[in-house]
Amino acid sequence: MKSIFSTILLIVIVAVAIFIGLGILTAILTAFENLIIAIWPFLLGGVVIYGIFKMFFDK
């Protein structure tokens, strides 16, 4: 009886660990996605400004 209980307990612990791991992974990916979305306009603006400066200073 005790071995069945410990097996069930082990399965529950593993399931919870996997669930928490997936939750953390999802949170990291979401944060990374938000970071890319937040930085994207600055990168684009930087490239555009660099292009304009290069165009002016190449003349």
Per-residue pLDDT, 9: 92
In this structure, what token pair is assigned to residue 29?
């990916």
59: pLDDT strictly greater than 70: no
Handedness of CA 26, 30, 32, 36 (dihedral sign): positive
Confidence of residue 36 (pLDDT cuts 50, 70, 90): confident
Domain ranges of the chain: 1-59
Q: What is the pLDDT of residues 12-34, one digit of tens each?
A: 999 999 999 999 999 999 988 88
Per-residue pLDDT, 2: 80
